[in-house]
A and B are shown apart, each in its own frame.
Chain A
């Protein structure tokens, strides 16, 4: 079984940073799965099969957590004892909130009007904001160790990610 006390970064032999080399993460993920995937142990004894199942699931969990910027930032903060998405403090800057609520209205109007191009444009907009936030967050986390300032950005990033997913789902609705 994989040493469950090792954190996600250690598991892939990566430095504990927000800025990671996605190519290196992919390569190490594949190298690990090549060794421990249950397909490698299909005719092994029960113990080895169980260990492979648990280890492979653990590696999948770590990979999906590090691949996504929101969960990666959230996880990195948790290693420093900071809960980025604590329910007790879920505040967001007022101007940010206003802007996103406006966008939500635009989205529901476009859905009602079955206006796919408007939804596409909105989605591109939200994704651009998302992409712009990432380097900002990297600076706060990796250069400044500014944990509490980073918390707010993580929440913004999560909000934008959810909005993008919802708009994407609306486009899907128009499809079917």
Chain B
């Protein structure tokens, strides 16, 4: 259940960028080669977001497919399941080009317009 740790790390990352302003949406990119369960991550995010700038925020997950590249023949392919060896030349020296992402891409911050802020200040 490391999704709890990852959700906490997402909230901590967002807090560094939100400057105390409430956040409506958090866009996160998760590679398919990570072992992160999107449903579990969303559940944990809702839990750890409480009493932070992320309270009530929506977590938008973009799942990035796993793309491997063979060092021997330069073939690139999308991997859905093992094996990880090259389907063209069967070499085992392959590296992930995409699919290992686990990053906060962007956040949508709720800003009060000046008039609204002034209104609230008067009441």
Do the two shown chains form a genuine complex with each other?
A: no
Q: Which A residues contact B (CB, under 8 angstroms)?
A: none
